[in-house]
């Protein structure tokens, strides 16, 4: 197989959560460039993502769903399989953040972040894995972790807890699903220019402190994650599972 063929996703379907903006849109577009049809899931419509994906000559299907509300994902997957195509790749990218001092952090903010960042990730992965196992097909699950999967951070207790949980679940799911020809891996982005980091970038003091700590000397952009998602989604990466790939400009090495 040629090098180009190693990353050819033609005929595959990728379900990307949180696909409306930022990292999610970049990952969806990247997988589309490799030939995959895209199912984008977000709490709001995503015309910009649709345009970016369809510009690659593949199909796009939109699902507007609030992951904080939870619910059973099996009917959604059945409808996809019947009307568009069952996903071969699941990218659990959706995530939210709430900032407050530990002593002021509310239960509502804790529950909202954990529901989106961790609970929905597990139950959507579970439903997707059940679908694959029942049909005897291979699958790829790619979770979006964080530098705060490894560090404590400040003023983001539920985000930190959820992203530690993402890495733990990645490893657990990898252990249980490897024998089913399903790989489960994670990408840990560094400080990326997204909506979630807007407050940090607007704070001149914090932004300077962060930049001084990054060996690469710049904030990342969503497109910096393109090679990582292609590697983990690739048909030829079937022996890679339980891994966490940092894309952080060297932050964790500092």
Measuring CA to CA, which residue among 90, 103, 94 is closest to residue 130?
Answer: 90
How far apart CA 207 and CA 198 sit, in angstroms, is: 10
Sign of CA dihedral 45, 48, 51, 54: negative
Antiparallel, parallel or unpaired: β 60-64 and 37-42 = parallel
Residue 159 annotated in active site? yes
DSSP run (H or E) holding 42: strand 37-42
Q: Which residues contact 55 (CB under 8 A, 6 or more apart)?
A: none
Q: Which of 159, 191, 219, 251 is catalytic?
A: 159
List residues with catalytic annotation.
159
């Amino acid at each position: 197989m040629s090098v180009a063929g190693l990353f050819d996703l033609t005929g595959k379907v990728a379900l990307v959560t949180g696909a409306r903006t930022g990292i999610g849109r970049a990952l969806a577009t990247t997988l589309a460039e490799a030939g995959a049809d895209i199912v984008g899931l977000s709490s709001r419509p995503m015309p910009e993502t649709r345009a970016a994906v369809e510009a690659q000559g593949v199909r796009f299907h939109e699902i507007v769903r609030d992951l904080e509300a939870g619910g059973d994902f099996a009917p959604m997957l059945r409808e996809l399989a019947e009307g568009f195509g069952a996903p071969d790749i699941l990218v659990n990218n959706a995530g939210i953040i709430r900032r407050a001092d530990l002593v002021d952090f509310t239960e509502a903010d804790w529950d909202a972040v954990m529901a989106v960042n961790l609970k929905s990730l597990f139950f959507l992965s579970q439903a997707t894995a059940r679908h694959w196992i029942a049909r005897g097909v291979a699958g790829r699950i790619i979770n979006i972790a964080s530098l705060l999967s490894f560090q404590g951070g400040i003023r983001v207790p539920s985000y930190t807890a959820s992203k530690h949980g993402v890495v733990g679940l990645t490893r657990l799911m990898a252990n249980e699903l490897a024998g089913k020809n399903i790989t489960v891996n994670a990408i840990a982005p560094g400080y990326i220019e997204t909506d979630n980091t807007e407050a940090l970038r607007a704070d001149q003091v914090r932004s300077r402190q962060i930049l001084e700590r990054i060996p690469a000397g710049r904030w990342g952009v969503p497109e910096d994650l393109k090679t990582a998602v292609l590697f983990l989604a690739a048909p030829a990466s079937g022996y890679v599972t339980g891994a966490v790939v940092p894309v952080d400009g060297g932050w964790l090495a500092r």
